[in-house]
Structure 1
């Protein structure tokens, strides 16, 4: 994915393989993207990448519904999927 490649190249010397660092970076970047920017990024995805992203989102939301329906609390808050 071109967008991820660009992010990696720009931040590779500043990031560690720490999930929290990556989450903070992505959250910060997404706050600055407009809907049009996000649609542009999505339009650059190949079919496999689009299926992966859509599938991950749908699976997360279905799990969230199941947890809510069974009154088990909540899944870990994922700021990108809500």
Structure 2
């Protein structure tokens, strides 16, 4: 993906393998983008890139929902 390649080249010296650094850079860059710019990035993706992006997003959201359910006390009552 061209956007990722450009982002990597721009921040190559800042990545040290730490996931927190990568997350901070990605979040910071995305926060600077307008909705239209984000749409442009998505439109530039080929079908496989779009599939992987959506798959990773959906997997992460479902993991969070499952984790939240696991943290909640059971609401079932025994009569």
Q: 1:61 to 1:13 in 2, by over 3 A?
A: closer
Structure 1 residue runs without a partner (length 5+): 75-82
Which piece of structure 1 moves more, 29-38 or 11-20?
11-20
- State which structure, 1 or 2, has the greater radius of gyration over its C-alpha atoms: 2
Q: 1:67 to 1:15 in 2, by over 3 A?
A: closer
Which whole-Å CA distance do the structure 1 matches of 2:29 and 2:37 have between them? 11
Could you say which structure has the higher helix fraction? 2
1:14 offset after TM fit, Å? 2.4
The TM-score normalised by the length of structure 2 is 0.77
Aligned residue-pair number: 72
The TM-score normalised by the length of structure 1 is 0.75
